[in-house]
Structure 1
Amino acid sequence: MAEHKAEPESAGGPSPLRVTVRTLAETLWFPAFFFTGFLVCYLLPFHNPVPHHVDVAVAGPTAPQLEQALEKKSPGAFDIHQVPDARAAHDAVTGREATAAYVPDAQHPRLYVAKADGYSLESVLQKTFTAVAQQSGGQLQVHEAAPTAPGDGMGTGLFYVVLSCTIPSYVSVMMLLRATTFGRRKKVLTLVGIGAVESVVAFFVARAMDVIPNEPLAIPLIFLMTQAVAQTSFGLVPFFKQFFPGVAMGLFVLLSMPSSGGAIPVQMVPGFFRALHPIMPMGNLIEALRGIFYFDGKDVWRHALVLCAWVVAGAALIALGAWKERRAARKEAEAEASGEEPQAVPAAEEPPVEDPSFELPRPTAVPPRTHRLGQQTPTLTGRVTDERGEPVQGVAITVTGTHGRELVRAITDPNGEYAAAGLPDEFVNVIASSPDRLAAVARVRARDGHPVRQDFRLARRPVPAAAGPVRG
């Protein structure tokens, strides 16, 4: 007997090594991105924070000499400007015209600092100007011009209050992508409601811990920041698709936190992050809250305007995504009406938008009637009956995409019902087939937030007439 050699599974197809590399790249790109991002965006600015261009007001005519001495000892660390007297020095700090103020005196030199700007910066200033005072033979006296709340001993409590509202705002978007029965408007309103709850709860919890002063104006500012993050993240989804998690977390975690000035004062991080500080939502909220709590409302309006600009940008992205979706649906409907074939798409299937922490809904068959907590809600339902209207069990329901790719298959239950969840937001073909009945096909529009129903009535296949006897 002749031997038959096994043929390769796919002659001319991609090699196993190439398939493995591609699979690993598509699967591990996000942890690799996050690993690199943390090394660059956290280790770089936080491993050795040093002062950069810290603005210090100096009372009296000795300011030029002091600036030269500090520049020689720590180049680029301090920017000195002269003020008339001790009162002007104190007001420069409380008015946020300077980060600190120094009043030279032979016996009792004074340093005005603002713990609200960060404990680590305060420590650097005390160390630097203690040495300056000792060279003049005096003993430095440190005065708190803007002390923090009693429950915020390290001056970083405000950062954690803001952080508690930043990451959940992004995570809420990821979780709402699973809510396939919610349309765009419901998702936007849900994000607004979540932000309102977060801002109120965060404020009162922080107040209960005495981390912040009792200034309720902080609540609308926190709310603005939650919407800046949430609505912008939601608006980015249709444009970046499977890369959305990297883009959103890169913006609001890897870049926003180091540049916020909350954990490490912005004057002590590299120039790139100092440049981001006036732009990113987290930094603007922290500065606005500092202004309300500790600096008599200084520049609060400016930081609030930046937060509003982020909210407007998010709304514009959402509107643009909706227009893009409607345009694509209109073109597809026109092609369907004219009998034209839809335009071909690249052969490579586009990966789903998903976050490494949460599995997004995929097309799947679900029970038509019983739904437990955590189970997907159907986006497509229907019933199959015979010519007399009686339910037909065991009919195969196959749902295919526009280009013929099978998405999901379901089987009708004893009541003739079927259901499917997690369908893509597009036109799909629904095929009902059974060995003893004529198949039926329908084309429906699957949309988030708009469950669709498609019923079928299947007739029996005609039985071929029996052949008569063969006569010789």
Structure 2
Amino acid sequence: MSPTASPAASPTQAGRIAGIIVAVVVVQFLMLVAFAWPAARSAPQDLPIVVAGPQAQAVAQRLEQQRPGAFDVKTLPDEAAAREALTDRDAYGAIVTTPQGPQVLVASAASPAVAQVLQQLAQNMSPSATPAVPVRDVVAADPDDPRGAGFGALALPLVMSSLAAAVIVTFLVHGIGRRAVAVTGIALLGGACAAALAQGWLSVLPGSYLAVAGVMALAIAAVAGVITGFTSVMGRPGIGVGAVLFMLIGNPLSAATSAPEMLPQPWGDLGQLLPPGAAATLLRSVAFFDGAGAGAPLAVLLCWIAFGALLMTVGGLRGRRAEAPEGARGEPVPVH
């Protein structure tokens, strides 16, 4: 063999290369499924709406016959009750029957995508020879973001930046207390800056600045804290576990651009149990609905934050025991 010839790859190296190729292709496939599948299969699944007025029962039965399984219909006595259901986030829309004909109420702030579905439903209710069924927006989306594109684009950057924050804290900050302080500081300052961007320059969120900043801080703390906890317990693989859980699964299932009931089930419900989905729902509640429906997503975020703190504590204590001198473990220390 000439001195310049490259030696053939050993069986170990060949196996490693083959494993890397397979792993990368598997990750690519999972990413395509995770991001494309919910969008491709987006359709109403037990979407909560109300029907009100004297003919409410008849309209509800007709909806069930025409679109079985698409809507979870509740009947209410009048338009006032229907509007209250929308502002309380108990329903996405309403069909109100009156002697002059039906009208459709929507809350585009809850989901512009669902509002479009209900507007299409209103068009189908009106024969071409009659006037169109009126559609009224009870809780409108931000006028600078009527389709919710800007709102939906907030989720992924928050998750990615939180993942980056966890990596930085893991490798540059040591000790349970210091890591907890670092994650808390990043969450508070990051939430304040993100809210200022969303409400100021981008203008995609109305409502109280402090409330919006608080929700974003909770979202950052939940993701960054849990990933930091994962790495404290299992080392570098914890970064991959967090990335898969929150980016590969949590982000596409967050329903930030649609609604949980528009995703294939049970994945829509699962997405609401992860920080990206809970944060999106909580943001809508505090920005557009004066906090209505905020209890469940707030509880989800707080549980994830507590879980992250627990992981960091366990990892920190384990590290202390590993670094403890032999004498601290009850073993005899040689006398010099």
Structure 2 length-normalised TM: 0.86
- Three-state SS of the structure 2 residue aligned to 1:178 is helix
Q: CA deviation at 1:30?
A: 5.7
Cα deviation per residue 1:153-198 (whole Å; 9 max; x = unaligned)?
212322323433221011111233332x744433332222222221
SS in 1 for 2:127: helix
Name the aligned partner's letter for residue 194 of structure 1.
Answer: I
| Structure 2 CA distance for aligned equivalents of residues 228 and 29 of structure 1 | 32
Contact 1:164 1:202 in 2 (8 A): no
1:289-325 Cα shifts (integer Å, max 9, x gaps): 2112221221324322221111111000011111222
Structure 1 residue 118 displacement after superposition: 2.1
Contact 1:95 1:295 in 2 (8 A): yes
Identity %: 26
Unaligned runs of 5+ in 2: 1-6
Partner SS, residue 148 of structure 1: coil
CA distance in 1, matches of 2:187, 2:49: 38
- What displacement does 1:124 show? 1.2
1:67–1:79 contact (8 Å) kept in structure 2: no
SS of aligned partner of 2:153: helix
Per the alignment, residue 376 of structure 1 pairs with none
- Change in Cα spacing, 1:24 to 1:324, as seen in structure 2 (3 Å) is farther
For 1:240 and 1:17, how far apart are their aligned partners in 2?
A: 29
CA distance in 1, matches of 2:76, 2:126: 18
Partners of 1:29 and 1:224 lie apart in 2 by 36
Alpha-carbon separation, structure 2, partners of 1:231 and 1:53: 34
Instruction: Confirm or deny: 8 A CA contact 1:255 1:273 kept in the other structure.
Output: no
Q: CA RMSD in A?
A: 2.8
Aligned equivalent of 1:247, options 221, 241, 259: 241
* Corresponding letter in the other structure for 1:189: V
Give the distance between the partners of 2:98 and 2:138, measured in 1 at CA.
Answer: 19
1:3-402 to 2 correspondences below 5 Å: 16-25=10-19, 27-28=20-21, 31-105=24-98, 107-134=100-127, 137=130, 139-179=132-172, 182-208=174-200, 209-216=202-209, 217-330=211-324
Cα contact 1:284–1:304 (8 A) shared by 2: yes
CA distance in 2, matches of 1:306, 1:213: 23
Shift of 1:249: 1.1
Q: Distance in 2 between matches of 1:185 and 1:215?
A: 31
SS of match in other structure, 1:134? coil
The residue type paired with residue 249 of structure 2 is L
Distance in 1, Cα, partners of 2:291 & 2:91: 16
Residues 228-265 of structure 1: per-residue CA shift (max 9 Å, x gap): 11111000014343432331011111221122221232
What is the CA–CA distance in structure 1 between the aligned matches of 2:73 and 2:177, rounded to whole Å?
A: 52
Letter in 2 for 1:272: P
Distance across 2 between alignment mates of 1:276 and 1:268: 13
Relative distance call for 1:29 and 1:198 in structure 2 (3 A) is farther
Contact 2:126 2:133 in 1 (8 A): yes
Is contact 2:207–2:288 with CA below 8 Å preserved after alignment? no
1:260–1:286 Cα contact (<8 Å) kept = yes
1:152 Cα deviation from its structure 2 partner: 1.1
Q: How far off is 1:33 after superposition?
A: 4.5
Alpha-carbon distance in 2 for matches of 1:263, 1:20:
43
Structure 1: 5+ residue stretches without partners: 1-8, 10-14, 341-472
Instruction: Please tell me whether the aligned partners of residues 51 and 60 of structure 2 are also in contact (alpha carbons under 8 angstroms).
Output: no
State how far apart, in whole Å, the 1-side matches of 2:143 and 2:259 are. 20
CA distance in structure 1 between the partners assigned to 2:97 and 2:252 by the alignment: 34
**Partner Cα separation in structure 1 for residue 253 and residue 83 of structure 2:** 27
Distance in 1 between residues matched to 2:296 and 2:113, nearest whole Å: 26
- Between the two proteins, the alignment pairs up a number of residues equal to 325
Specify the SS of the correspondent of 2:109. Answer: helix
CA contact (8 A) 1:105 1:138 kept: no
Higher RCO structure (Cα 8 Å, ≥6 apart) = 2
